[in-house]
Amino acid sequence: MSLNFKRTIEDFTCENCGAEVSGNGYTNHCPKCLWSKHVDIHPGDRLADCGGLMKPAASEVRGGVCHIFHKCVKCGYEKKNRTSPKDNFDEILKV
């Protein structure tokens, strides 16, 4: 875990698909459609000014861990995030 990580527990409504998401402090994307939102500079800090939606652009499994690569549709920022057991596996396969 990064020294800059700040655990922020928040529930949110996905701005892409409308799903109600219960956050656990590590939740950084919608488990239904996998979209995220560009709100952090460092994980959990909520200091990014962009606020654009982040599209799931790719996925990979490395060392038994699955990651989703998100790309902001507003500014182009890219970020790799771990998947969660709650994530829609069919959506991960589509990415």
Burial class of 19 by CB neighbour count within 10 A (0 to 12, 13 to 18, 19+) = middle
- The tens digit of pLDDT for each residue in 22-38 reads 999 888 899 999 999 99
Give the Cα-Cα-Cα angle 44, 41, 38 (nearest 5 degrees): 85
Helices (H), 1-95: 89-94
pLDDT of 80 above 80: yes
For the chain, what are the domain ranges?
Answer: 12-94
* Residues 31, 10 contacting (CB under 8 angstroms): no
Tokens read off for 85 = 């057991």
pLDDT of 86 above 60: yes
